[in-house]
Each structure stands twice: as C-alpha cells, then as structure tokens.
Amino acid sequence: MELKHFDFLLSSLVKKLYHKDKSITNEYLQEGVIDSQLGNDQVLTLVDTLEPILLEIGHSDLSQNALEKLLEPLELRQDFHQHFLKYWEQQRDEIRSIVRNELIFNDRLSGVSWRVDMKTNSKKISNINQPIAIVELLLSRNQQEREDTKSIMFEIDKTQISNLVNQIEEIESLLEKGIQQKN
C-alpha cells in the first residue's frame, strides 16, 4: 500500500467518525485503495484497526509519546506511523472541538439583540414614558446548527438590568477565580 492510500483511509475515517459523513462506507474505502494491491479483507482489517484508535485519541488528550505507544502494537510501516502522527498533529484541534461540541447537552447562547423603547401605555401613570429594553436571546444546541435556534424575548427595566449586570459580574468573577485556580 502506498502512503497516499493510507492517507486516504485516515482522512476518510476522520470524515466518517467525526464529521458524520454517511457517504463513507466500507465499499467507498475499498474503492479508494483499489490499486493498492491490498485485498478487500485486508482493507477492512486495517479500517477495523484504525477506527477504534481514531475514536480513542479523539476523546482523550494523549501526549505525542502516549500516541506513539498506542500505535506500536499496530506494527505499521515506519512511514505510515510517522504520517499518522503528523496527520493527527494537524487535525487534533479541529477534532477535539468537534468532540467538545458533541458533549454539550444544554443550549448555548448564540446571539443577543436588543432595543430600547419608551413605555406609552401603562396602568400606572408614573410608568408612562419610562425607558424599557426589549432583549432577545438566541439559543442553539451547538455553534454549527443555526436552524435549531430558539428565541427568548423579554422586557427589562433599568432596575432589573442593573441587577442582571451585577449577577453577570459575579459570574465573571467566579469564572476568573476558577481559571486562576486551574492554572
């Protein structure tokens, strides 16, 4: 098998496993390496060997040394071994980001819009001509899926916005403390 065929298998498996590309089937993989002088069974064996390793390294934060030790039992040719390490080094951040986004179960804030209106109608005369903010929060499951966006719209007055800002500053302070403790 040539290095270009091994690269094809690696990149195709990453697309299948992490980008959820359903067009990548075993038949597609076999066709992609058809002139590699590997039999179909050998291609499938290599795929079955690489898939769990790609899944494991995508979900763990392995050092380069740990990854090398993980690859040792595969008995890959030296150029394949080096290519795998180089390929992973280039793709690691993107794959880790995909995995991280898949692990988020709650909605995320994806946008905020607002405007200030003057109240012109109220049960209390003292509330007339008082500024209020109309706030819209956009929530989505993850950053890529804009079509799965929910919108929450509400009114908020000066006192409420002041309380909200104080709470957000408290959250920010706690997050900063957590970041400092981690480092």
Alpha carbons 42 and 14: distance in angstroms, whole number: 19
* Each residue's pLDDT tens digit, 34-77: 666 767 778 788 888 888 888 888 888 777 788 888 888 887 78
Alpha carbons 170 and 57: distance in angstroms, whole number: 37
Taking the whole predicted model, whether its pTM rises above 0.75 is answered as no
User: Can you give the three-state secondary structure of 117-139, one letter per residue?
Assistant: EECCCCCCHHHCCCEEEEEEEEE
* Each residue's pLDDT tens digit, 116-147: 998 777 677 776 778 899 999 998 876 555 55
